[in-house]
Amino acid sequence: MRAVQDGKLEKENLLAESSFCLGCRACEPVCPAGVEYGVLIEEARDILWNGKDRPLIIKFLLFLTGSRIGMWALGFLSPFAKNRTSDPKINLMLGCIERRIFPKVSKSVAAIAPEVSVCKSQSCCGALAAHNGELELGNEMAKKLGDELQGTIVTTAGGCAAHLSSVLGRDRVKEFSEYWADRSSNSKKLELNGRVIRVGFQDSCHLKNGMGVSAEPRKIISAIADLIEIPNAGGCCGAAGSYSLLQKKASRQVIAPKIADIKSLNLDYVVTVNPGCTRQLVTELKRAKVKTKVIHLAELVAKVN
């Protein structure tokens, strides 16, 4: 990346390699020099993924999330949380893809946290743009959303939380598990067929590695279920934003050991905190004919509230 920046290497030589990295940022917490690799890969793609070199699927996704028509299309006929003004200083970020394919997530938050305001006309946070060659645009979109949603922004997507907090500041953004963690101590246990349910948890890479949030969701789950640790739960599931779309074969190879582990643990649920992880796990568990259900943390909490 430095060679391309310094003009010592043609960017075409790095074009293919730029899509191989998961962008999970797992290298950051263990780097003794504190190198922020997530920023580096975003800056590299800002140079490499432009014009004819931008993957077609990325162009389509950027159109969807970057236009008023696209955002309308994502929400069309999706029964996500309705508009309401509760506390104007606490606002729920609906998420672009999540509001379309997993609308129950926002409805669950709205049901268990009546103090949270909901604005259906909100724009995209820009995470998708920032991760896929439009870093400046992604930052501008985050600032715009920050102006639309005043005060604390509660998110249900780890990748969005990491991006928003990097632009707006850590004090403005609360991922759902951070927001809810202190309320879970008095929850009752969820049961199935006379026993407490067995629940595994899959970390969100950006949430864990970018924001250091991993204990909070486990605390919440432990209060309402038997938390069964999935081996390498902090390792990437292979979704990695657009990675599962650009590197389908490699993405399936990344998640294969995780699917085998989930099957062997005989779990009732696998909990996620990011829509990309949810989609990846739902798809691959179904493909492997594993009956374990995938559920967002907010949906699990809603079952006992």
> Is residue 196 assigned to a domain?
yes
* pLDDT value at residue 293: 97
The CATH number that applies at residue 200 is 3.40.50.1860
> Is residue 298 assigned to a domain?
yes
> Is residue 131 assigned to a domain?
no
CB atoms within 10 A of CB 205: 27
CB 37 within 8 A of CB 22: no
> Total structural domains in the chain?
1
- Residue-number span of the structural domain to which 290 is assigned: 183-302
Closest CA to 102 of 240, 238, 274: 274
* pLDDT value at residue 71: 84
* Whole-prediction pTM: 0.90
pLDDT tens, N- to C-terminus, the chain (305 residues)? 777 777 777 766 666 666 777 888 888 888 888 888 777 777 777 777 777 778 888 888 888 888 888 888 888 778 888 899 999 999 999 988 898 899 999 999 999 999 999 999 899 999 999 988 888 999 999 999 999 999 999 999 999 999 999 999 999 999 999 999 988 666 789 999 999 999 999 999 999 998 999 999 999 999 999 999 999 999 999 998 888 888 899 999 999 999 999 999 999 999 999 999 999 999 999 999 999 999 999 999 999 88
* pLDDT value at residue 289: 96
> Is residue 58 assigned to a domain?
no
* pLDDT value at residue 68: 81
> Is residue 165 assigned to a domain?
no
Pairing of strands 116-118, 87-93: parallel
> Is residue 70 assigned to a domain?
no
Q: What is the 3-state secondary structure (H, E, C) of the chain?
A: CHHHHCCCCCCHHHHCHHHCCCCCCCHHHHCCCCCCHHHHHHHHHHHHCCHHHCCHHHHHHHHHHHCHHHHHHHHCCCCCCCCECCEEEEEEECCHHHHHHCCHHHHHHHHHCCCEEECCCCCCCCHHHHHCCCHHHHHHHHHHHHHHCCCEEEECCHHHHHHHHHHHCHHHEEEHHHHHHHHCCCCCCCEECCEECEEEECCCHHHHHHHCCCHHHHHHHHHHCEECCCCCCCCCCCCCCCHHHHCHHHHHHHHHHHHHHHHHHCCCEEEECCHHHHHHHHHHHHHCCCCCEEEEHHHHHHCCC
Closest CA to 275 of 300, 295, 249, 292: 295
> Is residue 113 assigned to a domain?
no
> Is residue 19 assigned to a domain?
no
